[in-house]
């Protein structure tokens, strides 16, 4: 670990997904009734692939676990490929047997967005054992866009242009969403553990800003350093700016 960054773990790229999945398996074996908040996106996708393989080998089970979706786009139809709930089902939920005891998507199709956000917050208020996060190129976590602070609640939030572009250009949304629903940083920081997953050289500068810069609403991930059980699990390319910044 890097001095002053005891929460940081840097792994070889070829080992990264398997090691994170193995740690998730260990958590499930220690607590089969784990309450997990999970993200979607390109970063966690290989972790879920490795986790599915491990569960198929019988190394652990999600059968008693509860999974809460971290965030969701507003305004995308249920069959849109970029939908967070659809992606997590494709990559994890529908690929494991037994399935999770409970899966809580953001019920944006069944309620007004503000009501769906309130429902998500109420489920999170029952307690989360582990929250996994990716890191946005603009420093967001979940859809807590720049301007968010450590006490930002679960809410409907306008999306920045870069986040909208990712939805269409990388995730295949048929139209650019203008808003999202996200678990607030207040609930994320109340989780018993938080793991920030970061891969790729394109995330190197924002990771250095999040870990070494001041707490800054312009980089909401910087507030994660307040958490007493934060783990930042990066691959080697994502960590390249840390030493030079120090």
Q: DSSP string covering 94-112, please?
A: GGSSSPPSEEE---TTTS-
Q: Which two tokens stand for residue 184?
A: 């607030």
Confidence of residue 1 (pLDDT cuts 50, 70, 90): very low
pLDDT above 60: residue 2 = no
Interval 119-162: pLDDT, tens: 999 999 999 999 999 999 999 999 999 999 999 999 999 999 99
200 Rama sector, left if φ>0, alpha if ψ -120 to 50, beta otherwise: left
The predicted structure's pLDDT at residue 3: 53
Handedness of CA 221, 223, 225, 229 (dihedral sign): negative
Q: Which two tokens stand for residue 77?
A: 């139809």
The predicted structure's pLDDT at residue 243: 74
Average pLDDT value for residue range 109-125: 96
Q: Which two tokens stand for residue 170?
A: 């990388």
The predicted structure's pLDDT at residue 4: 72
Q: Among all residues, which ones are annotated catalytic?
A: 71, 138, 140, 145
Average pLDDT value for residue range 163-180: 95
Average pLDDT value for residue range 241-245: 73
Interval 188-218: pLDDT, tens: 999 999 999 999 999 999 999 999 999 999 9
Residue given tokens 């048929």 in the structure block: 174
pLDDT above 90: residue 24 = yes
First to last CA, the chain: 14
Residue given tokens 């910087």 in the structure block: 222
Angle at 65 between CA 20 and CA 124, to 5 degrees: 90
**pTM surpassing 0.85?**
yes
**Mean pLDDT, rounded, of the chain:** 96
Walk me through the domains of the chain, giving residue ranges and CATH numbers.
Answer: 8-241 (3.40.50.1360)
133 Rama sector, left if φ>0, alpha if ψ -120 to 50, beta otherwise: beta
Residues 6+ apart with CB under 8 A from 2: 8, 10, 242, 243, 246
Average pLDDT value for residue range 100-106: 98
């Amino acid at each position: 670990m890097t001095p002053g960054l005891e929460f940081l773990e840097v792994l070889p790229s070829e080992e990264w997904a398997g090691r994170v999945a193995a740690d998730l398996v260990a958590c499930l074996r220690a607590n089969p009734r784990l309450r997990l908040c999970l993200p979607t996106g390109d970063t966690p996708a290989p972790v879920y692939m490795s986790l599915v393989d491990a569960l198929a080998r019988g190394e652990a089970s999600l059968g008693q676990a509860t999974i809460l979706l971290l965030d969701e786009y507003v305004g995308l139809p249920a069959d849109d490929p970029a939908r967070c709930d659809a992606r997590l089902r494709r990559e994890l939920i529908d690929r494991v047997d037994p399935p999770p005891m409970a899966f809580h998507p953001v019920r944006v199709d069944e309620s007004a967005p503000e009501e769906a956000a309130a429902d998500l917050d109420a489920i999170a208020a029952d307690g989360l054992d582990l929250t996994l996060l990716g890191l946005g190129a603009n420093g967001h976590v979940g859809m807590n866009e720049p301007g968010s602070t450590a006490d930002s609640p679960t809410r409907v939030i306008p999306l920045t242009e870069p986040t909208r572009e990712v939805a269409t250009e990388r995730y295949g949304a048929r139209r650019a969403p203008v808003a999202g629903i996200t678990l607030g940083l207040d609930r994320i920081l109340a989780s018993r553990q938080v793991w920030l997953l970061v891969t790729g050289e394109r995330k190197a500068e924002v990771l250095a800003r999040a870990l070494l810069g001041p707490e800054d609403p312009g980089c909401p991930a910087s507030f994660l350093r307040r958490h007493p059980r934060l783990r930042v699990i990066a691959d080697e390319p994502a960590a390249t700016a840390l030493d030079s910044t120090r």
